[in-house]
Amino acid sequence: MDFEKLNKALYLKAGHYKFAKKPTDFDRGYMKISDWINDLCWYYVSKRKALDADMDREFNELIKVQKDKILALEPSEFKNGLIKAIEDIG
């Protein structure tokens, strides 16, 4: 789910209720849930960013381990191909 897109859409829809000249109970109820969903969206956006950072770190560690194994090989064209492929990704 695209939480940022959902948050933006809800923000646009909530404007009418947020700036009502004479807020009704309906307006207050709408805003209560809208604010709650907004907080929920930002919680999951933050959680996803943290997860992405963890996955990036794990990926880079695995690449480093593999590169260290490759560097331990005897010199050869095959080793050079492995090194080139590893270096091309980052």
What is the Cα–Cα distance from 28 to 82, expressed in whole angstroms? 62
What integer pLDDT is reported at residue 22 of this predicted model? 92
Render each residue's pLDDT in the chain as its tens digit; 90 residues: 899 999 999 889 998 888 888 999 999 999 999 999 999 999 999 999 999 999 999 999 999 999 999 999 999 999 999 999 999 986
Mapped onto helix, strand or coil, the DSSP state of residue 23 is: coil
pLDDT of residue 50: 96
- The domain segmentation of the chain, as residue ranges, is 3-88
